[in-house]
Chain A
Amino acid sequence: MLRDGATLWHYAMRARAFALVAGIALGVFAALLIAAGKNPVRAYADTLIYVFGNAYGFSELLVRMTPLLLTAIAAALPARIGLINVGAEGQLYMGAWLTTGGALTLMDLPAFLLLPVLTVLGFVGGGLWALIPGMLRGLRLVNETISTLLLNYVAPLIVSYFIFGPWRSPESSSYPQSPAFVDAARLPTFFHSRVHFGLVLALAALALFSWAMTRTRFGLDIRAIGGNAEAARRLGIPVVGYMLVVMFIAGGIAGLAGMAEVTAIQGRLVGELSPGYGYVGFLVSWLAGTRASGIVLMSFVFALISSVGDILQITQGVPYAVVDILLAVILFIVLGRGLSLNY
């Protein structure tokens, strides 16, 4: 059938584009390492051995992937309706913030009650935070790209206020952080590693996202609005209503990333929750063309890249910041091509 051929061709083109971007990025980065007097072959080999050579390395890769998957969905879902959500970072912080509020006040609850409550709180925290730009956009006051970006600077300040003030742990007076969560508020982890239940949530959210977009009326309406909002309005689709719901859900999913970070990884609220997961997640979504399969692949790639940073720091004494250069190179190439990999 013609369509099958076209689909195959489509995948071939995407694979080719992906290989091209990866090749150029790794090449440029290798040149940089040579310039710094390091051996790029050695560096890449170390990374592969570290990540794939043992269970621990791979489990850490999955841990890094989890927030990227969630923040990527937080960008991909609004993208489908034509909104640009660059605020997953702030939404992640507010999800973590509300989760912490719950964890510190409801600590007498048993785990089977507390964890679902915290999950909901994480979702609501991020969701309400994203609803602010959603409403500003719905009222035609402020463009959501700007407001989501600016709110990213506000959310960590709110978190800072609480860990310096009301929630400051009495035990560690030298370091601003909340008290440790009770065990009942800790998200389960698997396989004696740091891989946690957040990964399950992320994959479930991704599957749900993909299903809702392709198989439901709501997905059809959302894609219609994203494709031509004026036509959608004329067809009686409640455009603003959909925008608000989509922003809430997207923020909520980013909030889950924050919830998972504090309940599974940190065990308390800290100031440096995210090394920019929200921004990388946006990049992941964009490179993936907002497709679920692409998001998995790209999250994996970016988790791998951040592993490169760690490993180079240990084995070659290169600062972690070089990873930012690698990210910048990738972004630059993709922008330069004028396209995402989505074609």
Chain B
Amino acid sequence: MPHRHSDRAVEGAPPLLEALGIVKRFGKLVANEIDQFTVDAGKIVALLGENGAGKSTLAKILYGYYAPDAGDINLNGKLVRIKSPRDARALGIGMVFQNFTLIPTMSVFDNVALFLHDLPVVVPRAEILRRIRDYAERFHLTVDPWRLAGQLAVGDQQKVEILKELLAGARVLILDEPTKVLAPQESEGLFRTLAELRAEGFGIVLITHKLREVLAVADRITVMRHGRIAGVVDGRDATEQVLLALMFGEGAASASSAAPVAPTHQDWGEPALELIRVSTTDVEGRVPLNAISLRVGSGEIVGIAGVSGNGQRELGDVVLGLLQAHTGAKLLWGEDATRWPVAKVREKGVAEIPDDPLSLACVPGLTVRENLALGSGGRYALRLGVDWPRCDADMQRSFARLGFARPDFATRAAILSGGNLQRVVLARELAHEPQLIVALYPTRGLDARSTTAVRALFRAARDRGAAVLLVSEDLDELFELSDRLVVMFRGGIAAALAPKDFHAESVAPFMVGAHEQADAA
């Protein structure tokens, strides 16, 4: 089979992986219409695009997860048929999904071994272990092979995902939004790994919508828009402006640049939320809170910084009333709310945007419309039913105010992309001018434009007198939005900072617990 020559011909060797004329439709929606997408050995290709631009679809086609309606895939210049992920793996194409696929109750070693397609009946433990150690050292993927996968931090789980792909013989590695779940320093580690892989001739596809990462690491940037390739830019020539223009069309680039910082408020209004030495019990799988005292005033954004898993989710749960304080008290607008049920807390005007909308805030089996009506208490009660026209109208208004494209309310939530689901949750939670917004990583998984919109929204909420408790791992986001910053570490408050101390250097030591070591010394 002669391989098709294209603009690659000058370099002689065919690309490692090449997709030509790929078309994929879901019903009437054209998810992908790709003329050419290539991955070269020893190169990092960034696949950039807004939520729903078709990046994940293309990746899933390359990995054999979806069958394309038309098009060819060539591997080293040879036409291949990839009918399943199994085929893809056998051909040396590996993929690390957004949601990891490790078995939590098995060790790292077992997870890796399980993934090897040519595993003999008697597992050659020493051999596999040697290879794990070898790869781990070469690519900065060191992780204890005997730890249970479920006990690992997210960053280490990702290392295991990459390790198992490498051991299974992957030459092309597709990573779907790999930094979405990582803390900044973990992202650095990932990029070191990718650089090593590139040096050894692996082909890497990095799916992301974070411009900064793309500009930092990619050799070539393929920008997708509406299922098509909007442009291919060489990594050296790329600028933020060029990429934004390709992502959103001309004229969008200027709109997404950072909004001016809001005026700093000096005197906060009445306290909306007060936590007074709140501690929670040590339940398995939860970080116990340790004497948290916190005050969020009306018209104030209080940022919570910290590496995730240091009690942020528990803090949110305490405010919402899901988790009871063992000792201490919680006041909402001056009233003792320590024992209020969730429904009452929400009724009083508390909105929550949890960190994982799919599993914590949505019911995938229900329609978007039904999801939007959930948790509204009796607001849309119409006799025994729901006043759907009124609910729809409110939600349409909320989508419009947020500047989000409105999904078809009749579709099931399960088929929405992660970013769109996040928008549904935001539209619902912010529809009724909440007086206290508890937001956990609200812009994680959103593209640049939606991120800007959400941040503007928090500012607007603050300016109309709402209190905002913003948990984030993105320090820039926290610095930009917060009026005060609190750093959490191991369930306690490590530091409270004023805007003059908003620098990574002053926050980082508290995030990793360096202050405690210093105290002890």
A→B interface (CB under 8 Å)? 2-3, 215-218, 220-221, 223-224, 226-228, 230-238
Contact = CB atoms under 8 A, between A and B. Distances in A.
B359 A231 contact: yes
A230 B320 CA distance: 13
Which of B322, B342, B343 is packed against the most chain A CB atoms within 10 Å? B342
A221 B343 CA distance: 13
B359 A228 contact: yes
Interface string B332-368: 0000000001111111000010100001111111100
A183 B342 CA distance: 52
A238 B344 CA distance: 11
B429 to A, nearest CB: 10
Contacts of B359: 228, 230-231
14 contacts: A2-B27, A216-B384, A217-B385, A224-B366, A227-B365, A228-B359, A230-B359, A231-B374, A234-B360, A234-B375, A235-B346, A235-B375, A236-B345, A236-B347
Given A223-B366, A228-B365, A231-B361, 13 more contacts: A216-B385, A220-B373, A221-B374, A231-B360, A231-B362, A232-B363, A232-B374, A234-B320, A235-B342, A235-B361, A235-B374, A236-B347, A237-B374
A215 B363 contact: no
Given A235-B342, A235-B346, A236-B341, A224 B363 contact: yes
Q: Which of B345, B359, B365, B375 has the most A CB atoms < 10 Å from its CB?
A: B375
A2 B28 contact: yes
Contacts of B377: 236
A236 B366 contact: no
Contact of B342 (A218, A226, A228, A236): A236
B364 A228 contact: yes
Contact of A234 (B354, B364, B410): B354
B123 interface: no
Contact of A236 (B354, B362, B375, B381): B375
Contacts, number: 76
A223 B373 CA distance: 12
Contact of B363 (A217, A218, A228, A236): A228
Given A236-B343, A236-B346, A215 B384 contact: yes
B119 interface: no
B252 interface: no
B153 interface: no
Contact of B384 (A217, A228, A231): A217
B370 interface: yes
Contacts of B385: 215-217
B386 interface: yes
Contacts of B341: 236, 238
B142 to A, nearest CB: 34
Contacts of A227: 363-366
B346 to A, nearest CB: 5
Contacts of A218: 384
Interface string B177-210: 0000000000000000000000000000000000
B233 to A, nearest CB: 37
Contacts of B375: 234-237
Nearest to A216: B384
Nearest to A239: B342
Interface residues on B, range: 20 to 34
Contacts of A215: 384-385
Contacts of B363: 223-224, 227-228, 231-232
Nearest to A214: B385
A218 B344 CA distance: 18
A169 B345 CA distance: 59
Contact of B365 (A2, A223, A233): A223
Contacts of B381: 217
A221 B386 CA distance: 11
Nearest to A225: B363
Contacts of B346: 235-236
B296 to A, nearest CB: 19
Given A236-B345, A238-B343, A217 B360 contact: no
Interface string B482-495: 00000000000000
Contacts of B347: 236
Contacts of A224: 363, 366, 370, 374
Interface in B280-317: none
A273 to B, nearest CB: 35
A209 B496 CA distance: 54
Contacts of A232: 363, 374
A3 B341 CA distance: 39
Contact of A220 (B345, B361, B370): B370
A266 to B, nearest CB: 37
B469 to A, nearest CB: 15
Given A233-B342, A235-B374, A236-B377, A220 B362 contact: no
A216 B373 CA distance: 12
A223 B412 CA distance: 13
B267 to A, nearest CB: 33
B98 to A, nearest CB: 19
B478 to A, nearest CB: 23
A108 to B, nearest CB: 38
A256 B366 CA distance: 31
A41 B368 CA distance: 50
Given A227-B364, A236-B375, A238-B343, A3 B384 contact: no
A224 B364 CA distance: 9
B342 to A, nearest CB: 4
Name, among A218, A226, A231, A238, the residue most crowded by chain B CB atoms within 10 Å (CB to CB). Answer: A231
Contacts of A233: 322, 342
Chain A to chain B: the 9 pairs with minimum beta-carbon distance, closest first: A235-B375, A236-B343, A227-B363, A236-B342, A227-B365, A228-B363, A216-B384, A236-B346, A224-B363
Nearest to B382: A217
Nearest to B28: A2
A287 B343 CA distance: 36
A236 B375 CA distance: 6
Contacts of B344: 236
Contacts of B365: 223, 226-228
A237 B374 CA distance: 8
- Most chain B CB neighbours (cut-off 10 Å) among A217, A226, A227, A236: A236
B352 A234 contact: yes
Most A CB atoms within 10 A — which of B27, B363, B365? B363
A237 B377 CA distance: 8
Contacts of A234: 320, 322, 342, 352, 354, 360-361, 375
Contacts of A220: 366, 370, 373-374, 386
A236 B348 CA distance: 12
Given A235-B342, A236-B377, A230 B360 contact: yes
Contacts of B354: 234
Given A215-B384, A220-B370, A228 B345 contact: no
Nearest to B377: A236
A227 B345 CA distance: 23
Contacts of A221: 374
